[in-house]
Amino acid sequence: MEVNNPSALVYLVDDEFAIRDSLTLLIESTGRAVRSFESASDFLNNYNHDQPGCLILDVRMSSMSGLELQEELSKRGISIPIIFISGNADISDSAKAFRAGAVDFLEKPFDNEILLKRIEEAIQKDMEIRELLIKKRQIQKRLDHLTVREKEVLSLIVSSHSNKEAAAVLNISNRTIDVHRAHIMEKMQAANLAELMMMAMHCEIVQHGAEVVD
Amino acid sequence: MSKQTTDIRDIEMLRNKVETLLTKHGNDIRKKATKMLNRSGTDISRLSSEDIQKLLFEFQCYQIELELQNEQLNRTHQELIASRDEYEQLYNLSPAGYLTLNKEGLIQKVNVAATHLLGNSKKNLIGKKLGEFILPLDQDNYNFFIKGFLTTQTDQTLILKLNSINNTSPHLNCQGFGLCSCSLQNCNHNNTSIYVECRGIANYNNKNELQICLTINDITERKQAQETILCLNEKLEEKILKQTSELIESNLNLKKKIEELKYSKHQLREREAKLNSIFNASIEGIITINTSGNIVSVNAAVETIFGYTQEELIGCSIKKLMPLSLRNKTQHNLKDYLQAYMLKNIGLIKEFEGMRKDGSSVPLDLSIAEFSIDKTNYFTGIVRDVSLRKHREQQDKEHLDELAHVTRLGLMGEMASGIAHEVNQPLTSIANYTQACLNFIRSENPDLEQISEILLKTHQQALRAGQIIHRMRDFVKSKKIHRTTANINTLIHNAISLCIAEFKPNNIKLKFELTKNLPTVYVDNIQIEQVIINLVKNSIDALKTLPQQTQRQLAIQTNLINNNDIEIRVKDNGPGIDEAQQQKILTPFYTTKSDGMGMGLSISRSLVETHDGVLHFNSKAEKGTTFYFTLPAGRKSNGS
């Protein structure tokens, strides 16, 4: 069966064997690889951060519940997309899960199509997150090559300051601003201003600039 | 010998004296006659011859007459002498002593017997005072006696003692001596003195002198006999007195006993009357039978209960009141059956079924006592018609069942979401399995073996879901009580399956500590499961109040205790129940929960009690609570 991102892995945590077994079979039947765990701690001990994928998580489990695991992952900076499944849906539980960034909260027994669709979406989301992360790291690397003055100029430019305004702020000549700007474009490997703006947004330099504008 | 001769001489002398006296007397008479004739003045010379002749004839007649008179006189004289001799003889030979005293008390005359009695010869006695021979003790009496004669001259009698030192009387020995045990002191056997009885008369002798004639009789023997008799009498009297007092005492005792008997008889009567009135007024039937099972007595209440009159029952076999089944069973061995039954049930109150005259059965409470009269044993059975109570019990039971059902519905409501979860699990698995199968079938080379394996799992999950639904439906639907033989551990597992969903989300660890191979119980499964669920749910609710990180534990244990009771314990390590609440938690409508009805525990207790068990609990603050209840093992309870 054809799947996007075949390298992605579906993690499954549920303390009920029948659920684990049937879901594994179901997901595997769509061509996805599945790794199941019977407890949250089991999962935490075996999770590989480098492996893209998503997590199907049972809300009610003994020792550590699904929501508690979600919290723990967030604490550890693990941003794997989570699809919650629950035997007896509780509005407060689902609200809590969504607030913490859950992809979905499905009530047992759920529509398999929806689950599979959510799995795909989650994997897609994970892939995107991972791509974004790679991009961000590249930009960061480039940013690291800028001098202090260049960073100041960049910050002003992406905050919609004109050369003139920037020169006035930094109390330097327009000419000097031009030279810095050329260096920045080069170092950041930006083809035009728009591209530079995108990079700045990824690295959250824009916000700072926006604040200045306001 | 000398004495006899002196006697004869005396008599001779006496006769001579009399003859001389008589001759003298004759001469005196002749002189007197002549003198008298001379004095008459008749002169014979002057008389005619005829007259003289006449006179002579008369004289001759007189002479003859005189001679005849003289002859007569002589003869009389002779007779007199003979009589005198005889008298003399009698006087001397008389065993009684004769004494003649003058007025000075000097002895004038004494006979032989008297000399013997006085112990002196006649010679020594004549002219002596009789007083000399009398013991000093009786002197006064004697003196009065003599004086009495002199003044009144009447007959008198006196008993006195003589001093007879030389006495050789054979009467000295007291004949009573050998016969009785009277003391010497009382009887004076060795004393030489003798008792005499003096009887006397005072008269004048021919000389016109006052003289006292006394007869004295030896009455020593009599006296001694009297004394002996007296002594014996005294003894006898003493004895009689003693015996009398003894008799009086025993009489008193007897009287007392009679009184007591009378009293106890009265009491008995009273008691009998009381018992009789109780016997007949009692609303409980009282039936007495002998060991063969024949009815000896019944009271009035028996008629009310069974419909038979007393006459219809007395003498009949007790079988008449037994239900048919028992009648057949005891057809040949009623006596043995009774013996065995009594032995087992004496002193207890047992439920028993009786049969009325109209053939209907009547539920009874029966208590039996045994007693025996004259070595014959009887049994008294007291029966109470409990049909009303039974009816009420039945109603109560129905109410309880109804109530149990209602609370069960409530319980199910509380557990609904948990049960839904429990059902959802297999349903989810089924959906997943079937979808997986579909996906596999649609693949290019479907692995049929894998698919059939998955289908099998699907089947199992469907059954699991069905079971939960089934159990839930039973739990809710069952209104009718149906007791069956059951394994308590199975009941526990069934009950837990309905509330298993409560453990996981509340982070409660459930532990089974069930004893294997327990005897079965005869119970209504649903009601007992309800009790277990109730207790388990209470524990869960208690555990929920513990902080999240605490290890929450709930254990269910089964044990055989006292050999015939099974004990089920539901134990948690929750916060415990405080003292004030402990008093109330078993009462209806008391609850510590915000959404509770307060019926769970009270219903549970009632349900356990209708199964002849008991429900209790132990609780310690901060340590936890254990609820436990018992069920009788392996037997059918009374009610069914």
Give B75-119 pLDDT, tens digit per residue: 888 888 888 888 888 888 778 888 888 878 888 888 888 887 777
Answer whether residue B311 is part of any domain.
yes
Range of the domain at B340: 282-385
Q: Are residues B291 and B332 in the same domain?
A: yes
State how far residue A150 is from chain B, nearest Cα, in angstroms. Answer: 53
B10-44 residue pLDDT tens? 677 777 777 777 777 777 777 887 787 777 666 66
- Of A33-42, B97-106, B245-254, minimum mean pLDDT range: B97-106
CB contact under 8 A, B426 and A18: yes
CB contact under 8 A, B443 and A16: no
Answer whether residue B89 is part of any domain.
no
Answer whether residue B274 is part of any domain.
no
- CA atoms of B434 and B75, how far apart (whole Å): 191
Answer whether residue B277 is part of any domain.
no
**Does residue B338 have a pLDDT over 70?**
yes
CA distances from B596 to A159, B496, B527, B551, B593 (A): 63, 20, 19, 25, 5
Answer whether residue B436 is part of any domain.
yes
Q: Are residues B572 and B427 in the same domain?
A: yes
**Does residue B3 have a pLDDT over 70?**
no
Testing the interface with A: which of B439, B540, B543 to mutate, by most A Cβ within 10 A?
B439
Answer whether residue B275 is part of any domain.
no
Q: Are residues B231 and B111 in the same domain?
A: yes
Q: Are residues B379 and B445 in the same domain?
A: no
Chain centroid to CA B230: how far?
A: 47
Q: What is the mean pLDDT of residues B415-426?
A: 84
CA distances from A156 to A162, A163, A198, B232 (A): 8, 9, 14, 168
The residue ranking higher by pLDDT, B82 or B230, is B82
- CA atoms of B582 and B616, how far apart (whole Å): 11
State how far residue B423 is from chain A, nearest Cα, in angstroms. Answer: 9
Q: Are residues B328 and B406 in the same domain?
A: no
Among all residues of chain B, which has the CA nearest to that of A87? Answer: B421
A30, A62, A85 member nearest B504 (Cβ): A62
Widest CA span in chain B: 239
State how far residue A126 is from chain B, nearest Cα, in angstroms. Answer: 24
Structure confidence at residue B336 (pLDDT):
83
- CA atoms of B186 and B175, how far apart (whole Å): 14
Q: What is the mean pLDDT of residues A190-202?
A: 81
Sign of the CA dihedral running A138, A144, A150, A151: positive
B427, B501, B505 member nearest A109 (Cβ): B427
Among all residues of chain A, which has the CA nearest to that of B436? Answer: A26
**Does residue B481 have a pLDDT over 80?**
no
Q: Are residues B121 and B257 in the same domain?
A: yes
Answer whether residue B122 is part of any domain.
yes
For position B102, which CATH number holds? 3.30.450.20
CB contact under 8 A, B424 and A109: yes
CB contact under 8 A, B439 and A109: no
Domains of chain A listed by start with CATH number: 9-128 (3.40.50.2300), 145-213 (1.10.10.10)
Among all residues of chain A, which has the CA nearest to that of B552? Answer: A63
Q: Are residues B409 and B378 in the same domain?
A: no
Q: What is the mean pLDDT of residues B136-146?
A: 81
Widest CA span in chain A: 73
Instruction: Name which of B87, B85, B94, B214 is nearest B149 in CA terms.
Output: B214
Chain A residues in contact with chain B using a Cβ-Cβ cutoff of 8 Å: 1, 15-16, 18-19, 21-23, 25-26, 28-30, 60-63, 65, 85, 87-88, 107-110, 112
Q: Which residues of A touch B452 (CB under 8 A)?
A: none
Q: Are residues B372 and B504 in the same domain?
A: no
Structure confidence at residue B188 (pLDDT):
40
Q: What is the pTM of this model?
A: 0.50
The total number of structural domains that make up chain B: 5
Task: Using the 3D structure, point to which of B320, B350, B385 is the last residue of a domain.
Answer: B385
The residue ranking higher by pLDDT, B309 or B53, is B309
Instruction: Name which of B337, B260, B253, B322 is nearest B292 in CA terms.
Output: B337
Task: Using the 3D structure, point to which of B355, B385, B415 is the last residue of a domain.
Answer: B385
CB contact under 8 A, A22 and B425: no
H or E element that contains B458: helix B448-477
A1, A22, A28 member nearest B433 (Cβ): A22
| Mean pLDDT over each residue of chain A, to the nearest integer | 85
C-alpha dihedral over B46, B51, B57, B58, to 10 degrees? -80
Residue A109 is encoded by which pair of tokens? 């027994």
- Of A44-58, B331-345, B522-536, minimum mean pLDDT range: B331-345
**Does residue B432 have a pLDDT over 50?**
yes
Task: Using the 3D structure, point to which of B385, B411, B444 is the last residue of a domain.
Answer: B385
Residues above pLDDT 70, as percent of chain A: 93
ipTM surpassing 0.90:
no
Cβ atoms of A41 and A66 within 8 Å: the answer is: no
Answer whether residue B262 is part of any domain.
yes
Cβ atoms of A48 and A79 within 8 Å: the answer is: no
Structure confidence at residue B44 (pLDDT):
65
CB within 8 A of B379, min separation 6: which ones?
B288, B289, B290, B291, B338, B342, B368, B369, B370
Tally C-beta pairs within 8 A across A and B.
84
Q: What is the DSSP string of A59-125?
A: S--SSS-HHHHHHHHHHTT----EEEEESS--HHHHHHHHHTT-SEEEESS--HHHHHHHHHHHHHH
Structure confidence at residue A206 (pLDDT):
53
Q: Are residues B551 and B404 in the same domain?
A: yes
Q: Are residues B454 and B345 in the same domain?
A: no
Q: Are residues B110 and B150 in the same domain?
A: yes
CB contact under 8 A, A108 and B428: yes
| CA B394-B640-B474 angle, 5° bins | 80
Cβ atoms of B540 and B632 within 8 Å: the answer is: no
CB contact under 8 A, A22 and B421: no
Residues above pLDDT 90, as percent of chain B: 14
Q: Which residues of B touch A107 (CB under 8 A)?
A: 424
Q: Which residues of B touch A23 (CB under 8 A)?
A: 432
CB contact under 8 A, B428 and A87: yes
A160-176 residue pLDDT tens? 788 888 888 888 888 88
User: What spatial distance separates the first Cα and last Cα of chain A, rounded to whole Å?
Assistant: 53
Structure confidence at residue B637 (pLDDT):
43
Q: What is the mean pLDDT of residues A185-197?
A: 83
Predicted confidence band of residue B170 (pLDDT cuts 50, 70, 90): very low
A22, A30, A65 member nearest B439 (Cβ): A30
Q: Are residues B396 and B249 in the same domain?
A: no
**Does residue B174 have a pLDDT over 50?**
no
Testing the interface with A: which of B427, B428, B453 to mutate, by most A Cβ within 10 A?
B428
For position B504, which CATH number holds? 3.30.565.10
